[in-house]
Amino acid sequence: MLALLATPLGLSIPFDSSCLWASTTAWAAFAMLAALVQAAPLLSASLGWTPRRGWTVGAVGTAALLLFWLLVALPSVGSNTGFTLTVAAAAAAAGSLFGPGRRF
């Protein structure tokens, strides 16, 4: 849940003269989609999915969010934007690691 809140916040914080929503719109949309998909385990019961299937879909979203973090947020990790997106990626990874239905 924290990743779902921290991702749009990190994308909205101005870095230099603009925020990531304005400067890298495609990557920002990718990050938001990944943040939404990583929350799939929260909705798995209402969608009729098994916990294992919900975890798998959420893990794909987490991997996508970590890819975004690696390629876009890591180079500016010292900024407020980078910090907030790091919190979002770490929260998604922790949720995937400790979430119900995990495969390992």
Cβ atoms of 75 and 30 closer than 8 Å = no
Q: How many CA atoms lie within 13 A of 64 on its CB side?
A: 20
99, exposed or middle or buried, with CB in 10 Å at 0-12, 13-18, 19+? buried
- For the chain, what are the domain ranges? 2-98
From first to last of the 104 residues of the chain, give the pLDDT tens digit: 899 889 988 888 886 677 777 778 899 999 999 999 999 988 888 899 999 999 999 999 999 999 999 999 898 888 888 899 999 999 999 999 988 778 76
**Structure tokens, 11:** 């994308």
> pTM to 2 decimals?
0.88
Three-class SS of residue 57?
A: helix
What single letter denotes the amino acid at residue 53?
R
